[in-house]
């Protein structure tokens, strides 16, 4: 974050709209101001932030909840158009979970070129762990435990995967995947985007944001045909502390999975 760099009210307002959940869920002002500052990589003063809210409220783009902390949410559509979040996807997220899990186990792991004797573990984290925290639940997490021929010990790396339907792929989805790297080493956005989809108009912006923030991008072209899936971008390594990763895994993995992981790491 760069102190002293000035950004316009309009730029802050634009980023607020990008970050707000499309379903109208409110976000606490303190949390939103922090997310805006992190994604713009500049300091955002309270005065600038609230000026941006006033600007958006005047244009009827947002609603505001008053009281302790306060919050902001997207205003209901007034144009008569159906928001993307309300369009029924031919492949809902729940239906995409099984193909993604199979892809991660059978295909994605091969792209990592793990050394012989390594361990690769997949866990459905969409409903595991505490519910509190903004964007703290990836859909899947994967853990690799690598051991080498000469160097001692084990190298543990954790990947998070945020899954989005055809209409759900957006710049906001990139920020969800980015937020999850608070707890992992690599973040991935997995987007079901069939060839010829009208939603492909957002691909350039989504790709640019993934590249800027070091988020991997996997495109699901045909869920039933893993050979059509495309790894468009590889993620950048995030230097997340061992203590944070350890606590995250303990809260998301089952007892059986933590036992498997301990055995892979410590040989127990």
Q: Which residues of the chain are under the pLDDT cut of 70?
A: 1-5, 66-69, 76-89, 128-136, 149-152, 268
Q: Compute the distance between CA of residue 113 and CA of residue 255 in angstroms, rounded to an integer.
A: 28
> Token pair for residue 70?
């306060």
pLDDT at residue 184, as a whole number = 96
Cβ-proximal residues to 150 (8 Å cutoff; 6+ apart), any chain: none
Give ranges for CATH 3.40.1350 in the chain. 93-266
Q: Which CATH architecture has domain 9-77?
A: Orthogonal Bundle (1.10)
Contact indicator for 223, 169 with CB cutoff of 8 Å: no
pLDDT at residue 151, as a whole number = 66
pLDDT at residue 67, as a whole number = 62
pLDDT at residue 241, as a whole number = 94
pLDDT at residue 135, as a whole number = 46
pLDDT at residue 223, as a whole number = 95
Bridge-based pairing of strands 27-28 and 62-65 is unpaired
**Residue closest to 157 by CA, chosen among 85, 236, 84:** 236
Give ranges for CATH 1.10.10.10 in the chain. 9-77
Q: Distance of CA 231 to CAs 126, 144, 191, 208, Å?
A: 22, 19, 10, 14
Q: Compute the distance between CA of residue 135 and CA of residue 34 in angstroms, rounded to an integer.
A: 14
Alpha carbons within 13 angstroms on the beta-carbon side of residue 107 total 14
**93-266 sits in which CATH class?**
alpha beta
Global confidence as pTM: 0.68
């Amino acid at each position: 974050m760069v102190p002293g760099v000035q950004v316009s009210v309009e730029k802050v307002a634009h980023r607020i709209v990008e970050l707000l959940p499309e379903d109208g869920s409110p976000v606490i002002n303190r949390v939103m101001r922090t997310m805006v500052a992190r994604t713009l990589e500049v300091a955002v003063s309270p005065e600038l932030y609230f000026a941006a809210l006033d600007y958006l409220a005047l244009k009827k783009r947002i609603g505001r909840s008053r009281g302790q902390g306060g919050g902001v949410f997207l205003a209901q559509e007034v144009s008569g158009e159906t928001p993307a979040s309300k369009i029924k996807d031919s492949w809902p997220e729940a239906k995409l979970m099984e193909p993604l899990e199979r892809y991660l186990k059978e295909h994605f792991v091969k792209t990592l070129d793990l050394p012989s004797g390594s361990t690769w573990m997949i866990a459905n984290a969409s409903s595991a762990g505490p519910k509190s925290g903004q964007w703290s639940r990836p859909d899947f997490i994967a853990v690799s435990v690598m051991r080498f021929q000469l160097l001692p010990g084990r190298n543990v790396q954790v990947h998070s995967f945020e899954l989005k339907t055809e209409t759900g792929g957006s710049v906001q989805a990139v920020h969800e995947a980015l937020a999850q790297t608070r707890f992992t080493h690599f973040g991935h956005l997995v987007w079901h985007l069939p060839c010829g989809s009208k939603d492909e108009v957002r691909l350039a912006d989504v790709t640019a944001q993934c590249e800027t923030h070091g988020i991997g991008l996997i495109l699901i072209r045909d869920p039933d045909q893993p050979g059509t899936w495309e790894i468009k971008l590889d993620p950048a390594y995030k230097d997340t502390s061992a203590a944070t990763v350890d606590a995250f895994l303990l809260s998301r993995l089952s007892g059986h999975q933590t036992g498997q992981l301990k055995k892979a790491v410590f040989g127990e």
